[in-house]
């Protein structure tokens, strides 16, 4: 019986064991990365929902436009009053 017949299967077994350990370690790292990826996806989706919830609606824009128009109208009235007062003072 040749000594290679004993040593060769042992070397092959050790190599197989080593490769399996590396593969198991890689699988664990892949699982960890997948979990981190899922967690990040959850965070992104919650942030997207938050942004959508905070976005003003069309009604908000319309309401803001009405307010701006009301302020502009009031400022125009005040400007007209000031012009009239100035014209009275210059006449008087």
Q: Give 92's pLDDT tier (boundaries 50, 70, 90).
A: low
Structure confidence by residue, pLDDT tens digits, 43-59? 999 999 999 888 888 99
C-alpha closest to that of 78 among 62, 90, 70: 70
**What is the spatial distance between Cα 74 and Cα 71, in angstroms, rounded to a whole number?**
5
**What is the spatial distance between Cα 87 and Cα 77, in angstroms, rounded to a whole number?**
15
Q: What is the mean pLDDT of the chain?
A: 92
Evaluate if pTM is beyond 0.85.
Answer: no
Structure confidence by residue, pLDDT tens digits, 79-91? 999 999 988 888 8
């Amino acid at each position: 019986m040749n000594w290679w017949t004993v040593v060769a299967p042992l070397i092959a077994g050790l190599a197989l064991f080593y490769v399996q350990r590396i593969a198991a370690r890689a699988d664990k790292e892949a699982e960890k990365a997948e979990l981190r990826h899922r967690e990040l996806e959850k965070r992104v989706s919650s942030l997207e929902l938050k942004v959508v919830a905070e976005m003003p609606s069309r009604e908000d824009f319309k309401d803001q436009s009405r307010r701006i128009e009301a302020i502009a109208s009031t400022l125009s009235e005040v400007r007209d009053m000031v012009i009239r007062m100035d014209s009275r003072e210059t006449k008087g």
